[in-house]
Structure 1
Amino acid sequence: MEYDLSGSKHVSAHLVWRPDNQGFRLLFQDAQEVRRIKTRMLTDNKDHLTLPYHEMEKLRQFRRDMIKAIPLVIISIPPFANYLVFILMYLYPRQLLIRHFWTPQQLVEFQGVYHTQRAHHHWAIVKGLERTATSVQDSRLKSHLMELCSKVRSGVHPVVSDVHAVRTLFSGPPLGVRRMYADQMRQLCPLLFLTPRLPAFLISRRLNRHALELMQLDRAIVRLGLHQLNDVELREACYARGLNTDRLSPGQCREWLTQWLQFSTHLKESETSLYLHCMVLLTVNYPKHPHH
């Protein structure tokens, strides 16, 4: 994941990150596995889209971990900066440390914090859809979009057909990933833990790239078979697609991901905007959540 470091709050003092050797051992194991995957890709001349799901997900997560580690590496460069780095790591483990150095309790706590941050944008995204609906010329599409937003606002969890009924609005104007207003694009950034503080053309490119990556992973899950994911992998997959898994059972996660795959595997590459919006539309009321 890529994280915004603003608005940080340090973790309660009783939580201490993993001992260095254990965190580094986990990181080293991941680095070795990534190296093996990339070596095999080169040797066999394989495209990453043909990789099994677990290998694709490992590459995605490791790349994001390394991006997150960059600020800490930069802070460590000046001479005698080690003491400052250790203090900062203790005060801000969520912002500065990658998941290899978190305790299991911290992983749960921090994921809850990050979900709360993205949930702040849910209703702004729904409002943006409602505003856009007023300018849709096709009366049938306009009615479907307004009805979908109304369902979500009233606490109803939409079905896949509700979403597919408006899909053409999300591939071109007015809601395509390169046709939206900049404010709408910026509201979508927190869903993927991306910074909104970039020019609009860069934001649209990043949103498109990250959505395509998740769509490709969805297809890899289908090839593998959803039943092959263990409970931890199931929760991680749901969380990456916008769902708060904190109080959900493995059965509920499996049910939701089954529905999600029915929705996503029929999308075209030009429909990444619909994919991103459904990280709100298909998550906020599952299984039945009160309004934020």
Structure 2
Amino acid sequence: MHSSLSRVLLLNSNRNLLNQPALLVAIRHTSAGPPPATPAKEGSLTYKYEKFIGKWPKVLALHRTVLEGSRWCFADVKMYFKTRRAVASGQKKMSDLTVEELETLVQSGGELFKMLTLIVILQIPGPGDILILMLIFFPRLVLTRHFWSDEQRREFFQLEVTKALISGEQLLNTFGSPSSADENKLKPLDKLDSSEMLLVHGMHSMYPLPGSKTRILKRMEALRALDNILPAAIDGFNERQLIFNCYIRKIDIGKKSSTEMRDSLRQYVKFTSRMPNNVYLYASPLFKQK
């Protein structure tokens, strides 16, 4: 019953989301969290079901995590494709996009692949119980940030940042460990050999699939556009948003407070603001070594 009900609730949530004003939708999801849910009406099937499983608080908490994560994941995927179409058609320029729109474009290939897979799974009868098992046993390997707790999000993002920075440092070492000022030693993307490209993929948390060079360039373009508007928006970010924005730039999160993460992001934007693209490609390991 849980699985079927999960699909009903997800569909209802998506319908409510689509009926909201576009501005409110943009503000209320992506890095800030899921779009708001409509409370179940008293006497409805949803209300009765949640009242029944409420006898087991942990089961109810997992159930709601699946529903909330599903709504959030759907909202991100919807915004990603809507934004990408708007840019590709010329309807919008990168400089016209909001923080929320840009955040969806800079997601890593691995994360986007998982999101699309989960959206497909959610359309099949019976995913709810499977997702609950994934939440318990394999949250990092199978699920995305939409289904993680804030503590897991910090922990899992830091693991990815550490792996990316190791790849970045190894790549810089192949060039003789240049600084950001040694522009001529830092190869542009189209001049890298196959072994160097593998390290670039690791540095950007991207899968080495066909067309990945184009995706990396597009990701850099969106990230630079996000860097340009970050200073005006960062004071309004909560801790969840700060963690996400450190993660996409591969800035160490560790046990930093909100103030420390905010300072790191400001320093990163200042440090990278004058970098040409062939240098910005290596921004994260260069920022760490500065």
Identify the TM-score tier after normalising by the shorter chain.
Answer: 0.5 to 0.7
The aligned counterpart of 2:258 is: 250
Contact 2:272 2:283 in 1 (8 A): no
Cα distance in structure 2, aligned partners of 1:82 and 1:68: 16
Shift of 1:240: 1.3
Shift of 1:84: 6.2
Tell me the number of residue pairs that the alignment of Structure 1 and Structure 2 aligns: 230
Contact 1:124 1:187 in 2 (8 A): yes
Equivalence map 1:266-281=2 (5 Å): 266-268=274-276, 271=277, 273-281=278-286
The aligned counterpart of 1:187 is: 199
Deviations 1:113-134 (A, max 9, x none): 323332442431232121xx8x
The aligned counterpart of 2:188 is: 176
CA 1:116–1:252 in structure 2 vs 1: closer, same or farther (change >3 Å)? same
Contact 2:107 2:248 in 1 (8 A): no
Cα distance in structure 2, aligned partners of 1:56 and 1:112: 21
Cα distance in structure 1, aligned partners of 2:100 and 2:240: 13
The aligned counterpart of 1:106 is: 152
Cα distance in structure 2, aligned partners of 1:34 and 1:27: 11
Shift of 1:68: 1.7
Contact 1:238 1:253 in 2 (8 A): yes
CA 1:183–1:90 in structure 2 vs 1: closer, same or farther (change >3 Å)? same
Q: CA RMSD in A?
A: 4.1
More displaced 10-residue stretch of structure 1: 118-127 or 208-217: 118-127
Equivalence map 1:195-234=2 (5 Å): 195-196=207-208, 198=209, 202-222=211-231, 224=232, 226-234=234-242
CA 1:78–1:277 in structure 2 vs 1: closer, same or farther (change >3 Å)? same
Counterpart of 1:275 in structure 2: which amino acid?
Answer: Y
Q: TM-score, normalised by structure 2?
A: 0.62
SS of aligned partner of 1:121: helix
Of all paired residues, the percent bearing the same amino acid is 21
Cα distance in structure 1, aligned partners of 2:69 and 2:194: 39
Deviations 1:72-102 (A, max 9, x none): 4667889988876764564322122222221
Counterpart of 1:167 in structure 2: which amino acid?
Answer: E
Shift of 1:55: 3.4
Structure 1 gaps of 5+ residues are 1-14, 134-144, 149-162, 286-292
SS of aligned partner of 2:189: coil
Contact 1:18 1:103 in 2 (8 A): no
The aligned counterpart of 1:9 is: none
Contact 1:23 1:101 in 2 (8 A): yes
Contact 2:242 2:261 in 1 (8 A): yes
Contact 2:246 2:261 in 1 (8 A): yes
Deviations 1:130-169 (A, max 9, x none): 1xx8xxxxxxxxxxx3xx3xxxxxxxxxxxxxx2x22244
SS of aligned partner of 1:238: helix
Shift of 1:70: 3.3
